[in-house]
Chain A
Amino acid sequence: MTYQFQFRDVLAYWPSLLDGVATTLMLAVTGMAGGVLVGILGGAAQLYGPRPLRLIAAAYVEAIRNTPLLVQLFIVFFGLPQIGLRLDAPVAAIVTLIVNVGAYATEIVRAGLQAIPRTQVEAGHALGLSGYQVFRHVVLVPALRMMFPALASQFTLLLLATSVVSFISVEDLFHTASIIESRTFRDFEVYTVIGVVYLAMALACRGGFALLYRLAFGRR
């Protein structure tokens, strides 16, 4: 084999790589924050809502979970303008990510809330806690504790999944790869470097969340 690896050419584009990282992180954080909000509403709707609302929430979850993110993205970015709703690429990307994560978060929130046995709430009332105290100490904190690991791994999955937005020309980290590749023709090196950057972000997230979990819920 006579191929000379040239990582230097690729790493020379580090400012572009950093821009890509910033965009990818922004997409993941915004998508997750919005998604969790949707998830809380959706989870509450599925558990406590009237029947029609419950059905709508269930249909939403199934529709999103059984179709690819890429196709959802194409529907929002290419499809919606046809019925009069034109969104810029970054906005379309964020909307799609929020709608997508929202469905998974709905399931997580529902499962978390369901995992609190009714008897626990009754026990709280019997101990003379106020309604707010019961909600906070008996329902919310233990439920959050249960949801946290699932939401954390959802965030890591989302961080990596955001790479599909490059196909509607949002300039995220993966899009940066194609730009560097077209200038240097160093395909192998480009995708290796990009892969390592994603890996570093994913591992940092995993470590960060583990630390956060221990700070928030550990040692009781």
Chain B
Amino acid sequence: MIRPFAWIDVLFLVAALRWTLALTGAACLGGGLVGAIVALLRFSRLAPLALLGTVYTQLVQGTPLLVWIFGLYFGLAIFGFPVDAWTAAVAALSVYAGAFLGEIWRGALAAIPKTQWEAGASLGLGFGHQLRYVIVPQALRIATPPTVGFLVQLIKDTSLASTIGFVELTREGQTTTAATFQPFAVYLTVAALYFALCFPLTEWSRRLERRLHAAR
């Protein structure tokens, strides 16, 4: 039965936002972990480890996220790991985010002058302590604006989870469209909700960037 696009539908769309946020949060955690490992690998003095980090980044940045989502969702089952849409989406987004965050964080680490490491070493700090007390606090300031910027990218990319049937904002929009036959209004509402989520983050990232440049 076709019914009009009513306020209750808007509320359902708003409610579906929580799954978009959950996907983003989970992918942030997973991607952050992968990204930290990739950044450290690429920063490693051992050539094979550094190469491994580079190959991972190139591989993931050279393939569409959709291939990862579909590959993990449909492909993993043959290895005896049937996965549900949530797991596949989070795994694919983590793989993907890991490559980009790794690149951002490696750049931030590389931006800290070598003398800072040496200063840490001359104080008798080991590698881990140099990283923790000297390098990371400084690199964090550089890394924050692009990381927040990538977060916006990640929120938008969670929309692709709809393609394997995971019900987040975009999928809820498709369902609502099927019931109301009002695609224009529904998808504009969906877009507006994404905008409401992303725009403040974009602004924040921009402000952080400006402050970083002002401080220099």
Contact = CB atoms under 8 A, between A and B. Distances in A.
A150 to B, nearest CB: 14
Among B58, B67, B70, B71, chain A packs the most CB atoms within 10 A around the CB of B67
A58 to B, nearest CB: 12
A63 B74 contact: no
Nearest to B184: A79
Given A3-B78, A195-B63, A74 B194 contact: no
B182 A71 contact: no
A203 interface: yes
Interface string B164-189: 00000010011001000011101110
B133 to A, nearest CB: 34
Contacts, number: 126
Interface in B19-51: none
Contact of B156 (A63, A67, A174): A67
A75 B184 contact: yes
Contacts of B68: 195
A69 interface: yes
A74 B183 contact: yes
Interface stretch (A41-49, A108-116, A127-135, A160-168): A160-168
A166 B186 CA distance: 21
A66 B183 contact: no
A174 B66 contact: yes
B71 A188 contact: yes
A79 B182 CA distance: 8
B127 interface: no
Given A1-B79, A78-B183, A68 B157 contact: yes
A71 B62 contact: no
Contact of A174 (B58, B67, B77, B182): B67
A126 interface: no
- Determine the main DSSP class of A at the interface with B: helix
Contacts of B199: 62, 66
Nearest to A194: B67
B75 A191 contact: yes
Interface string A56-73: 000000110111111110
Nearest to A70: B159
A1 B80 CA distance: 8
A68 B71 contact: no
B71 A67 contact: no
B91 to A, nearest CB: 14
B184 A68 contact: no
Contacts of B116: none
Contacts of A192: 71, 75
B157 A79 contact: no
A187 interface: yes
Contact of A187 (B78, B152, B156): B78
28 contacts: A65-B202, A67-B195, A67-B198, A68-B156, A68-B159, A70-B160, A70-B170, A71-B159, A71-B190, A71-B191, A74-B170, A75-B191, A79-B186, A160-B63, A163-B66, A177-B67, A187-B70, A187-B77, A188-B78, A195-B68, A195-B71, A198-B62, A198-B63, A198-B64, A202-B61, A202-B62, A203-B62, A206-B62
3 cross-chain pairs, A with B, having the tightest CB-CB distances, nearest first: A202-B62, A191-B71, A188-B75
